[in-house]
């Protein structure tokens, strides 16, 4: 609901705005924050001092802005200003293109949004120029252009003699070599000539592997999921720090974890069946 100013001559424009502001529960600082007008300007207008506004044009703009914030009638107050305060000689100049500071900021933002994107336009024009230049160059390529190159390639292809077709030998049923079925040794086959060990662990395990001549084949800690493979012509000895976590395949035979009274085990394998060669 608008706060209509009293028509009694005793109530001025500033008094009307001040009364409307207090009725709306706003302070001068509140109104200054909402309108972006300095508090000193707001206070001066409420005291009917329009000297800080910079002229009638701006004063009327400030009055309408304040009236719209505090709930007063901006049209009536603007007319009251024209009738009682405004000077006929104080007309807006050419540079006065906005009525208030708030309206000026809005106009500036709208102008910025409507400013053409000259950078994008220039880039597009440059791209068009490059395309036109490339088209002209291709059109003047002459005998050295892509068309002549294609023609030369075609001529070369026509004059190149074709390679003779490879001869094909036809086999008669009597000439067909007999098919020999592949023989795959069973997974449990036992190697007779050497020792072959595959060690897998499913938990951390310290391992020492030694060859028949005393050479250390491996010494270290295997992590879960790791495996090691060793070969020797005579014998391989193992020391396992966590024997229950190991799985041994010796000479193609999966023997699992070696027996141990504790977690530590020492085993030795030679050629042949590991179930009888284990030591």
For residue range 179-237, list pLDDT tens digits in order: 555 554 444 444 457 889 999 999 999 999 999 999 999 999 999 999 999 999 889 99
CATH number of the structural domain spanning residue 26:
1.10.260.40
Residue 49 belongs to some domain of the structure: yes
Residue 258 belongs to some domain of the structure: yes
Residue 154 belongs to some domain of the structure: no
Residue 136 belongs to some domain of the structure: no
Q: What is the pLDDT of residues 121-144, one digit of tens each?
A: 778 888 898 888 877 777 665 445
Residue 176 belongs to some domain of the structure: no
Structural domain harbouring 54: 13-86+100-107
Residue 187: predicted pLDDT: 45
Exposed, middle or buried by CB within 10 Å (0-12, 13-18, 19+), for 273?
middle
* This prediction's pTM: 0.33
Mapped onto helix, strand or coil, the DSSP state of residue 230 is: strand
Residue 126 belongs to some domain of the structure: no
pLDDT tier at 177, thresholds 50, 70, 90: low
Helix spans in the chain (H): 13-23, 28-35, 39-46, 56-70, 74-84, 101-114, 118-139, 146-159, 274-277
Report the percent of the chain where pLDDT is more than 90.
41
Contact 70, 42 (CB under 8 A): no
Residue 33 belongs to some domain of the structure: yes
How many folded domains does the chain comprise? 2
């Amino acid at each position: 609901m608008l706060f209509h100013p009293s028509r009694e001559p005793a109530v001025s424009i500033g008094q009307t705005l001040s009364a409307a502001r207090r009725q709306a529960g706003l302070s001068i600082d509140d109104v200054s924050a909402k309108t972006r007008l300095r508090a000193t300007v707001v206070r001066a207008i409420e005291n009917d001092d329009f000297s800080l506004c910079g002229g009638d044009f701006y004063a009327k703009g400030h009055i309408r802005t304040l009236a719209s914030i505090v709930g007063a009638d901006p049209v009536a107050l603007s007319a009251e200003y024209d009738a009682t305060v405004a000077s006929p000689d104080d007309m807006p100049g050419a540079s006065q293109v906005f009525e208030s500071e708030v309206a000026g900021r809005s106009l500036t933002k709208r102008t910025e949004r409507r400013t053409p994107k000259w950078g994008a336009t220039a880039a597009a024009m440059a791209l068009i120029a490059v395309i036109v230049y490339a088209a002209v160059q291709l059109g003047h390529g002459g005998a050295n252009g892509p068309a002549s190159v294609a023609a030369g390639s075609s001529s070369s292809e026509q004059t190149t003699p074709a390679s003779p077709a490879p001869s094909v030998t036809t086999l008669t049923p009597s000439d067909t070599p007999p098919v020999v079925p592949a023989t795959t040794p069973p997974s449990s086959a036992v190697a007779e000539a050497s020792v072959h060990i595959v060690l897998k662990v499913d938990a951390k395990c310290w391992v020492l592997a030694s060859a028949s001549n005393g050479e250390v084949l491996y010494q270290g800690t295997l992590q879960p999921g790791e495996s090691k493979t060793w070969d020797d012509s005579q014998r391989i000895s193992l020391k396992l720090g966590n024997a229950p976590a190991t799985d041994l395949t010796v000479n193609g035979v999966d023997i699992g974890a070696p027996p141990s009274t504790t977690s530590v085990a020492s085993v030795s394998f030679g050629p042949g069946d590991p179930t009888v060669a284990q030591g």
